[in-house]
Every structure is written in C-alpha cells, then in structure tokens.
Amino acid sequence: MGRFVLAIDQGTTGSTVALMDARGKLRASVNNEFPQLYPQPGWVEHNPDEIWRSVLKGIRAIFRQGICKSTDIAAIGITNQRETTLLWDRRSGDPLNNAIVWQCRRTTSFCDSLRKAGHEAAIKRKSGLVLDPYFSGSKFRWLLKNTPGIKPTLKAGHIAGGTIDSYLIWRLSDGQAHVTDISNASRTSLMNLATGQWDASLLKLFDVPQAILPRIVPSSGIMAYTRGVPGLPDGIPIAGVAGDQQAALFGQACFGVGDAKCTFGTGSFILMNTGTTLLHSKAGLLTTVAWQLGENAPTHYALEGGAFVCGAAVQWLRDGLQFIRKAADIEVLAASVADHGGVEFVPALTGLGAPHWAPEARGTLTGLTRGTERGHIARATLDAMALQNADILRAMETDLGKRMRPLRVDGGAAANDLLMQIQADVLGRRLIRPQVIETTVAGACYLAGLGVGLWESAAEVQKIWRAEREFAVAMSAPARRKRLASWNTALQRTML
C-alpha cells in the first residue's frame, strides 16, 4: 500500500488538491480558481467542465513537486461544496447544464409554494433541513423542468444527477460509480435522516425521480477506483468522501459529543457533534449527518448553523468596492481604526441563513457619518463575520441547554488574527486554531486513510491533531452586550 493520501477539496471558488503523508502531515497543496457565473440577479452557477479541469490541473501540479509518485497514493479523499447540484448524461458523462450553486436563490418561489401548502414541518422532520432554496432538492427540480430537450433522455434512463462529490467520483471512475456519501445526501432535502436513504414522500414533494440519484454510501470505505484519469494510475481507491463542513468537523478531530468547529470560508459554518443522537433543532438550526465510518457503523449526527456570506464579504470589498488589493489586506485595513465607529454591515448579499432564514433579505450598510473611513467599513465587515457566528452559537446553546465548549476554528480566514480575536470577544468563548488550518482537506484525508486501513481508528487520528494558537476572551460582558445590541438593530433593518 502507498503511504500518501491525495485529497480533492472542491470548493465554491476553486479546487484544492493536497497531499498528506501517513503521519498526518500536509506535504503539498495547490489551489486553482474557476469562474463564478451570475446569469441573473440572485442566480449563481458553475461550469462543471471548469471544475473538472481545475481538479486535473491540481493533480498535475501536485506530482510535479516530486514529493511522491502517483503510484505511492494509498487512497483518494474528496470533500466538496455541498448542495451545488447538476445533471449529466450517463452515456457520455457530459454535463447537461451548468451546476446550480448552493448560493443560488432561483428556487425561492417554489420553496415558498411548498411552505404555503403546509409541507415545511414534514420536510424538516424527515430531512433535518429548513425549507430553503439553499438545499439541493429544489435545484434538482428546477434543472429537470428547465433543461431543454431533457424529457426523452430522462425517460430512457440516461440522466444522472448529483452533488459535486457524485460528479467527481463519476469522472474519476470513468462512469463506473454513481454514489454519494451520506453526509452529502443529508444536504439535499431528499434523504430521510432516520433511515439514511432517499425518502419517497420527499422525492414526490420535490418531483425528483429516484432513478437519477446516486446510491448513498458511508463516508469512509472504498466506494470506487480510478480509471482513465490523466496523471493517475488506474485502481486507486476512492475511500473517503464528506461534504466540506462535515470534513472540517472530522479534520478538527471533533469526535466527542459537544465538540464543535467553525469554518471560515466563502460562508461560515458552525457544526457541533451530537453523536448518534438525532437532535432536532427548535432554534432555527439544521440537523445533519456528520459521518458514517463504514457500512455497519452507526451514523453520527451534528447540529449546524451557517452564514451564507463570510469570506465572500471580503471578496466583495476587494472586487466590488476595490478597497483592498488582496483578501489578506483586510486585516491591516481593519486594524487601522480602533473599532467599527458605529458602522454596521449586514452581509445579506445572498439572503440570511441560520438562525434567521430570510432568503429575501439584502445587505445593508448603516451608521455612516462624515467621519467614516474605509477602515471602519473593513472593521464592520470583520465584525459582521464574527457576529453572524455569535447568533448561531446562541441558537445552538438554546437547543443544547448548556454552554458550548471552546470553539475550534479553521478555513482560510482563520489565519486572520484580528478576526479570531473579534470572534472570541463577541462569542465570549475561547477559540482554538489548529496547526493544519485547512481542515476540510485533513478530514478528507483522514476519512480516506481510515477507509483503506492507513490509520486504524479515529483515536489514532486524534493523536495526529495539534493546536497552533488559542484566543482568549478580551471583551467585557457589558461591552459585548452593547456590541450585540447594535448588531441586532442593524439585523432588524435588514429584514424589514
């Protein structure tokens, strides 16, 4: 067996291909961005061929570094942007359309119609998810209704559908496997959380035929083998798959009940491990599958809350307003002022996620005066990223009936020390940042390594994980209450 794991982290703005050795050390990582497509206001798409090319480019770049040969790869792990949905032709493998991205709001009216018809409670009870255009079920329906000339191909059984993990496994295996892992399946609104299978009544509500959907498999264990992939030998097992946030939870070694992490990416997401208990939220959170480690292993669940716009707000300052030249410059600009100066930015650029679930909300920038500088807007942006997470945390604590443990943080923006300190302050909780900050990659590697026996157990993986820095709370309780009150006022204006 080879001694390296190759990870594919297929994200919203780019694809990362990384290499981890048997000691759990990340040896190489290459990211390639691809275009974001906005055909109409509120619509977001990706070209699946661009995604695949970005993955192949990353694979080539990894092996050009000479750390190991492609024959040294023991397994491939995949983690992916969740909910993003596409259809392709089973015969050719060609996509039938652009993928509808998780951020896309085009199915809002259909979701509203299901809500008005009284289906929301049943959907949440079975799937663990709120009724929102964020999830895949309504996206599948839209594609099936709006792809030109699809009916004869659908009737003939030539249509395959899935989330990005399914599409990548299909391409990596040359069409030999049409599968999805249980964590990704739990994000579609079509899977019954209690059974771990596609649910007939949910499929009927969203008008999605089960015949187009992949088979649901565990998150760890061999599910396919490579065939015909440029730069890779045939026969490498694809042995670990999880949605990006579940992969980050696993990569943070959050294996105990109550362990939680927050990933700062395009959006920000807090997940808390609830073990094998299916805990339904009463505070606007989601119940989701965390992982399943093998066919006969129990399913582990998590509570989740996500903000749609986190790092994307910094990208907007960079690209839309041209405040900064690169994303990392936000820290220096925000630190140029003492605080937000009364400026509040609610980054509802694609609606508001948990715990508010207001898809029609739009971003607001308030509290501007003649004394407002670019630094105040930059600081308000960092504050907003942290304050959204504070809202989610309070909802989690309501569901759990107790305080959360110290929060583990990861993702690209977790490298921003100012943001991490702001986050600790507005949460009123200690933060722990790991040595391997890209824990989605780590989680995919761990799951794949476990799937082929490179590591024997989660306990062995736990020994690999290391902390890099902790952030203690520096804000007083009265100051925190005042800051949260200002933020809540701005939130109410956003949702008017």
Structure-model confidence comparison of residues 268 and 449, the more confident one: 449
Q: What is the mean pLDDT of residues 270-278?
A: 89
Domain coordinates in residue numbering, the chain: 4-252
Question: What pLDDT, on the 0 to 100 scale, is given for residue 473?
Answer: 96
Average pLDDT along the chain: 92
Q: What is the mean pLDDT of residues 199-228?
A: 97
Q: Which residues pair with 8 in a beta bridge?
A: 17, 78
Q: Are 77 and 447 in contact (CB under 8 A)?
A: yes
Q: How far apart are CA 108 and CA 134, in angstroms?
A: 9
Model confidence pLDDT, tens digit, residues 63-113: 999 898 889 999 999 999 999 999 999 999 999 999 999 989 999 999 999
Q: What is the mean pLDDT of residues 252-275?
A: 88
Token pair 């990596």 is found at: 172
Question: What pLDDT, on the 0 to 100 scale, is given for residue 42?
Answer: 87
Report the predicted TM-score, pTM, of the whole model to 2 decimal places.
0.85
Q: Please write down the long-range contacts of 28-34, taking CB distance under 8 Å and 24 or more positions apart.
A: 28/62, 28/65, 28/67, 29/438, 29/441, 30/58, 30/61, 30/62, 31/58, 32/57, 32/58, 32/61
Question: What pLDDT, on the 0 to 100 scale, is given for residue 28?
Answer: 92
Architecture in CATH for domain 4-252: 2-Layer Sandwich (3.30)
From residue 38, how far is each of 66, 289, 342, 384 by CA, in Å?
38, 30, 33, 24
Question: What pLDDT, on the 0 to 100 scale, is given for residue 306?
Answer: 84
Q: What is the mean pLDDT of residues 133-138?
A: 94
Confidence of residue 51 (pLDDT cuts 50, 70, 90): very high
Q: What is the mean pLDDT of residues 127-134?
A: 89
Q: Is the pLDDT of residue 357 over 80?
A: no
Q: How far apart are CA 124 and CA 119, in angstroms?
A: 9
Question: What pLDDT, on the 0 to 100 scale, is given for residue 359?
Answer: 75
Percent of the chain past pLDDT 90, that is, above it, reads: 72
Q: How far apart are CA 298 and CA 24, in angstroms?
A: 25
Which of 208-217, 250-259, 312-321: highest mean pLDDT? 208-217
Q: How far apart are CA 346 and CA 488, in angstroms?
A: 10
Q: Is the pLDDT of residue 394 over 70?
A: yes
Question: What pLDDT, on the 0 to 100 scale, is given for residue 1?
Answer: 62
| Residue 398: Cβ within 10 Å count | 14
Model confidence pLDDT, tens digit, residues 457-472: 998 998 888 899 999 9
Structure-model confidence comparison of residues 400 and 134, the more confident one: 134
Environment class of residue 166 by beta-carbon count within 10 Å: exposed (0-12), middle (13-18) or buried (19+)? buried
Q: Is the pLDDT of residue 402 over 80?
A: no
Model confidence pLDDT, tens digit, residues 2-50: 799 999 999 988 999 999 999 889 999 999 999 999 999 889 999 999 9
Percent of the chain past pLDDT 70, that is, above it, reads: 100
Q: Is the pLDDT of residue 496 over 80?
A: no
Q: What is the mean pLDDT of residues 157-162?
A: 95
Residue 431 exposure: Cα atoms within 13 Å on the Cβ side:
29
Q: Are 257 and 3 in contact (CB under 8 A)?
A: no
Confidence of residue 398 (pLDDT cuts 50, 70, 90): confident
Model confidence pLDDT, tens digit, residues 146-159: 999 899 999 999 99
Q: What is the mean pLDDT of residues 430-446?
A: 91
Q: How far apart are CA 363 and CA 347, in angstroms?
A: 5
Token pair 């097992």 is found at: 237
Question: What pLDDT, on the 0 to 100 scale, is given for residue 188?
Answer: 96
Helix (H) or strand (E) holding 288: strand 286-292
